[in-house]
A and B are shown apart, each in its own frame.
Chain A
Amino acid sequence: MPLVDGLNQPVKAGPKEFEGLHLVPVPDEEKPAEALKWLDYYRKERRSLVMAMESCVKCGLCAEHCHTYLGTKDPNNIPAGRADLMRKVYKRYFTVQGKLFGKLVGAEEISMRTLEEWFSYYYQCTECRRCGHVCPFGIDTCEVTMIGRQILYNIGMIPKLHAATDVAILRTGNHMALTPSGIVDTLDFLSDEIEEERGFRIEFPVDKPNSDILYVPSSADFFLNPDTLKGAAEFFEYIGANWTISTRITEAGNFGYLSDQTRVQRELVNRVWEEVARLGVKKVVWGECGHGWRAAKMYIPTMSDYPTRMRVPITHILDEVAAYIKAGKLKLNPKNNFRAQGLPVTLHDPCNYARACGLVENLRVDLYASVTEVREMNPNREKTFCCGGGSGVLFDDPEMYQLRIKFSQKKADMIRATGAKVLCAPCSICKAQFHAMIPEHKLDVKLYGLIDLVGAALDFKGHRQV
């Protein structure tokens, strides 16, 4: 959407999306009061929110650590400033000094304008948590963004992209509304490609009963990232796994986590356990997706409605690969890597792996064993900068798209500085962002996921090796 009261905003959801979400939006005149009720609810529910509201001393350290501020120089994009959009309301209604002295202490009444500001800035934050990493008080501003987005969802202010994706989740169990027929046809096509590349065929089992491993790929891989799917199949084939993909949970991501952490996020959680039970799975292996891995690793255990005895371990495919490498069971030949082709590779650490899931060193175990030359970005690991598309701000309306270019400026400079010719980004949102941003910043790199590069370096001599 164009500017609303001078604010950059994504297009908002309309009647069609509300119908799909079974959501009745609150009428505009009642929105401020309703939002305030929800803020009261969440301040009692989440200590992290109270801490963020009460503890910030505006030291400003977060400013230079936020790629959205570095890219836009908009003070409301300083993490402390962004949180202040909520803090001024919190002060006015929930603190004594705010109730007594109002504007003198920076407190402000809630209005429709306040909510429009929230909608603008809580959907410019990419929930990367770099500010939380450097804050001397340990304030996790991402929590403020998440609660801001949840309150907006509850009253019916949702970006169309997120709402339409949420509808697809409820209907199909994945973001892109993939159908079983489409899934099978796409995977069959990829089997053909593997046969052309390697001289033998690797099949993708779908909905296979009595499978040991359920592999949960990102649905975007079925449209944009064929090599990520192929890399995973090559790995499973190599280790001789009894694995399958399910057509009911073909989604490693979770847009519910980024917009509605109740009904929508839970939908994908429950689908995992339903499929574990239906297919007799012993282990769930997660595909490449940053926020999705955080939502899976950190939230499924406490969010699930299923009894613990029905649950099985959930691991990440890149951790699995690292375990096999450390055990000396994967024969990887970097020189034969037909995807990296001997070119220097740089690794983009997805924020959610690095700062929320501890998936840092294993990425390097996998990558260094698979390619001939790695050039680390600076800064990297838990100090990584976001790709600029995090938390699904992959909006394509002109104003928001321009912001995406600004948000990714810092990362583009870092990639360029390495001189690498291959960019390895093991996350679906990062890949979607880079597909668009590589040409925008005129970067001379080929884009791959990490399992893509592992698969291409596997030294097959015929079929199964382990």
Chain B
Amino acid sequence: MPYIEVLGQKIEVDEDGFIQDPSIWTPELAKELAKMEEVPEMTEDHWKVVNYIRDYYLKHGIAPMIRKLCKDTGFSLKQIYELFPTGPAKGACKIAGLPKPTGCV
């Protein structure tokens, strides 16, 4: 299993850099993951999306439907792609510490 070094700690990730244990997620770790997803700095808007996804995942165990994410955060899909160039599923969800999505996505 590959590892990344964050704040002096070894964090287990998969080949695509998704963390393997969602429970070890911290905002500091999110900032490091963001750098890997072409997000050099986490702004307030970034946190709004990431925190929404994170809360939804803790409550329901899945990523929110993309349209719901847009509606509840007030961002259009285009704005989400501007915030997270690698997309909502593989960029924003990864920063929020979710596992990599499977199936037809």
Contact = CB atoms under 8 A, between A and B. Distances in A.
Contact of B104 (A177, A182, A185, A429): A429
Interface in A173-189: 174-179, 181-182, 185-186, 189
Contacts of A226: 65, 67
Contacts of A218: 104
B33 interface: no
A253 interface: yes
Contacts of A1: 15
Contact of B20 (A16, A160, A432): A16
A428 to B, nearest CB: 4
Interface stretch (A110-118, A161-169, A199-207, A236-244): A161-169
A176 B61 CA distance: 11
A259 B31 CA distance: 36
Interface residues of B, number: 25
A178 B20 CA distance: 18
Interface string B90-104: 100000000111111
B83 interface: no
Contact of B59 (A167, A181, A432): A181
B36 interface: no
A319 B14 CA distance: 42
Given A168-B103, A253-B103, A160 B15 contact: yes
A246 interface: no
B10 interface: no
Contact of A182 (B61, B71, B100): B61
Contact of B103 (A14, A189, A193, A219): A219
B42 interface: no
Nearest to B103: A175
Interface string A245-261: 00000000101000000
A428 B104 contact: yes
B9 to A, nearest CB: 20
Nearest to A165: B102
Interface in B27-71: 59-68, 71
A186 B103 contact: no
B89 interface: yes
Contacts of A429: 104
B104 A175 contact: yes
A175 B102 contact: yes
B59 A164 contact: no
Contacts of B100: 164
A186 B71 CA distance: 13
Pick from B63, B67, B89, B104 the residue with the most CB of A within 10 Å: B104
A182 B62 contact: yes
Interface string A195-223: 00000000000000000000000111011
B62 A224 contact: no
A354 interface: no
Contacts of A392: 104
B1 interface: yes
Nearest to B62: A182
Nearest to B12: A16
Contact of B62 (A160, A176, A394, A428): A176
A21 interface: no
A168 B64 CA distance: 17
Contacts of B15: 1, 11, 14, 160, 397
B5 interface: no
A305 interface: no
A440 interface: no
Contacts of B7: none
Given A16-B20, A186-B68, A189-B68, A223 B101 contact: yes
B55 to A, nearest CB: 12
A179 B104 contact: no
Contacts of B104: 175, 218-220, 224, 253, 289, 392, 394, 428-429, 431-432
Nearest to A436: B87
A255 to B, nearest CB: 7
Contacts of A189: 65, 67-68, 71
B3 to A, nearest CB: 14
Given A177-B62, A179-B62, A223-B65, A11 B105 contact: no
Contacts of A160: 14-15
Given A11-B15, A189-B68, A223-B65, A176 B102 contact: yes
A226 B69 CA distance: 12
Nearest to A181: B60
Interface in B4-18: 14-16
Contacts of B14: 14, 16, 160
16 contacts: A15-B1, A167-B102, A175-B104, A181-B60, A186-B64, A186-B65, A222-B62, A222-B65, A223-B66, A226-B65, A255-B103, A392-B104, A396-B16, A429-B104, A432-B104, A432-B105
Given A175-B102, A186-B65, A218-B104, 20 more contacts: A16-B14, A16-B20, A168-B102, A176-B62, A177-B61, A179-B60, A179-B61, A179-B62, A181-B59, A181-B61, A186-B64, A189-B67, A189-B71, A193-B67, A222-B62, A223-B65, A226-B67, A397-B16, A431-B104, A432-B105
Interface of B: 1, 14-16, 20, 59-68, 71, 89-90, 99-105
